[in-house]
Structure 1
Amino acid sequence: MRIPRIYHPGPLPANGSVALNDDAAHHLTRVLRMSEGQPLHLFDGGNHIFEAEIAAAGKKNVTVNIIASRPANIESPLQLHLGQVMSRGEKMEFTIQKSIELGVNVITPLFSERCGVKLDNERLAKKIQQWQKIAIGACEQCGRNSLPLIREAMELEEWCAERDEGLKLNLHPRAAHSINTLPLPVEKVRLLIGPEGGLSSAEIAMTSRHGFTEIQLGPRVLRTETTALTAITALQVRFGDLG
């Protein structure tokens, strides 16, 4: 049986006892049905693995003993910041989950002219919390120990105008360049993925003014969630740690 991996918010000690938060305790006792004496691995976002054992498991509280810790950095050398115009329903959740498995470091949800998601501040705040939990679950599953950042949602032009020393890329089906034609080396990428209806002509012109390079992935038109994951994979193959 695979040893469960659990994220713990806040720095973990090299040894000693730790009380897990409510979400972790519920997952271990109610979902995995684990009990006293069983092993688990903890991580706190600091690129270390903490080997632990359940010391006490109640209905709502779980205490673990940390036995040992060791460095465990599996982060890609490519720093990826995904600016994703928000998509409807489970598509956004899917994009967040899978892009984190592929090594994205930062995700910023974006509003654009053709964005189909309309949320008030309260609902948007709940969405951000939900997406952060999805990010944690993705790290627990894929083995990453550094937790990616889910930023607050912002307007497309505000995000494009942010200062960034990395390569800025905008996916466009009629672009003249592909990822394979980008010059080596590249260590940092800000990747923009538009909405299901695409960016408007004015938005495309705006991205160009802010230094974005238009690239295309091939002859077929991809859905927004397919575009994000295909682009991230291609970037990791060329500049990162895939392949």
Structure 2
Amino acid sequence: MANFYLLEELADAPVGGLVEVTGAEAKHIAAVARTRAGERLLVGNGRGLVIEGTAEQVTPAAVSVRVEQVRRADAASPRVLLAQALAKGDRDELAVQAATELGVDGVIPWQAERSVSRWSGPKLEKGRDRWAAIVREAAKQSMRPWLPEVAALASTKDLVGLAATHRVLVLEPSARHPLASVVPDARELVLVVGPEGGIAPAELAALETAGAESVRLGDTVLRTSTAGPAAIAVLNAALGRW
């Protein structure tokens, strides 16, 4: 199977034409993947365009790919977004990585009341950049034509505001209704996952008052690193993606 690389500046490329991959992706193709001339590659722009072709010239500075096939994928509709609470260690990062591989369309970092990890000062930009890098690598690994966006750090108030325009589903182990019973409509979906200590009662009340729906995955309690990806898998089936 051909390896997949992202070149955000990639534009429409005619079959038979040449596409030049430069920068970090070219270095990875040549020095890490050790790709040789004649091997096949996939290159996408993260906005639905994917070209398939054969490497003709490979150096760490630039890789020339002869285009053999061009594909354009529509963006998923309705979109599924993950509002992932910041968590200690790498548990939030594991959630973001798996969610991207499973098809999430966007990620919202959430500074929940009970989040042990805090993004402030220099950590704010560094944390978002770290999540964006994780999303990018996971999208490449899973060969996704659309690159999910990592939004700015959100507060609980921000999530409450989303309930006016999105269908917000809060994963809560004590909820009466299972996620599997949710019938998606035309609204974009936002899955809200709390930190290790769970969602604070005041936060849950504010979300529900705004119209969010509390749902549970099952009779067991999952870690913050696995709850979101598990919920995305359930929604993939409900949306007909799987």
Work out whether the TM-score is over 0.5. Answer: yes
Per the alignment, residue 226 of structure 1 pairs with: 226
Query: In structure 2, how many angstroms separate the alpha carbons of the residues matched to 1:57 and 1:11?
Result: 18
Matched, 1:44 2:45: yes
Change (3 A) 1:184 1:29: closer
Structure 2 stretches lacking a partner, 5+ long: none
Matched, 1:236 2:232: no
User: Contact between 1:193 and 1:224, CA under 8 Å: does it hold in 2?
Assistant: yes
User: Contact between 2:171 and 2:192, CA under 8 Å: does it hold in 1?
Assistant: yes
Per the alignment, residue 58 of structure 2 pairs with: 57
Alignment of 1:15-30 (within 5 A): 15=14, 16-30=17-31
Alignment of 1:71-86 (within 5 A): 71-72=72-73, 76-86=76-86
Change (3 A) 1:239 1:39: closer
Aligned partner letter, 1:158: D
User: Contact between 1:169 and 1:212, CA under 8 Å: does it hold in 2?
Assistant: yes
User: Contact between 1:82 and 1:108, CA under 8 Å: does it hold in 2?
Assistant: yes
Aligned partner letter, 1:228: G
Q: How many residues are paired up?
A: 240
Query: In structure 1, how many angstroms separate the alpha carbons of the residues matched to 2:230 and 2:159?
Result: 22
How much does 1:50 deviate? 0.5
Change (3 A) 1:163 1:12: same
Per the alignment, residue 179 of structure 1 pairs with: 179
Query: In structure 2, how many angstroms separate the alpha carbons of the residues matched to 1:22 and 1:201?
Result: 48
Change (3 A) 1:142 1:59: closer
Per the alignment, residue 35 of structure 2 pairs with: 34
CA RMSD of aligned residues (A): 2.2
How much does 1:193 deviate? 0.5
How much does 1:211 deviate? 1.0
User: Contact between 2:76 and 2:105, CA under 8 Å: does it hold in 1?
Assistant: no
Query: In structure 2, how many angstroms separate the alpha carbons of the residues matched to 1:30 and 1:37?
Result: 16
Alignment of 1:161-172 (within 5 A): 161-162=161-162, 164-172=164-172
Structure 1 stretches lacking a partner, 5+ long: none
Query: In structure 2, how many angstroms separate the alpha carbons of the residues matched to 1:184 and 1:169?
Result: 11
User: Contact between 2:50 and 2:72, CA under 8 Å: does it hold in 1?
Assistant: yes
Higher mean C-alpha deviation, range 99-108 or range 56-65: 56-65
Aligned partner letter, 1:48: L
Per the alignment, residue 216 of structure 2 pairs with: 216
User: Contact between 1:48 and 1:145, CA under 8 Å: does it hold in 2?
Assistant: yes
Per the alignment, residue 5 of structure 1 pairs with: 4
Question: 1:123-175: per-residue Cα shift (whole Å, max 9, x none)?
Answer: 33223222222222222222320111111212122232136533211111111
SS in 1 for 2:175: coil
SS in 2 for 1:157: helix
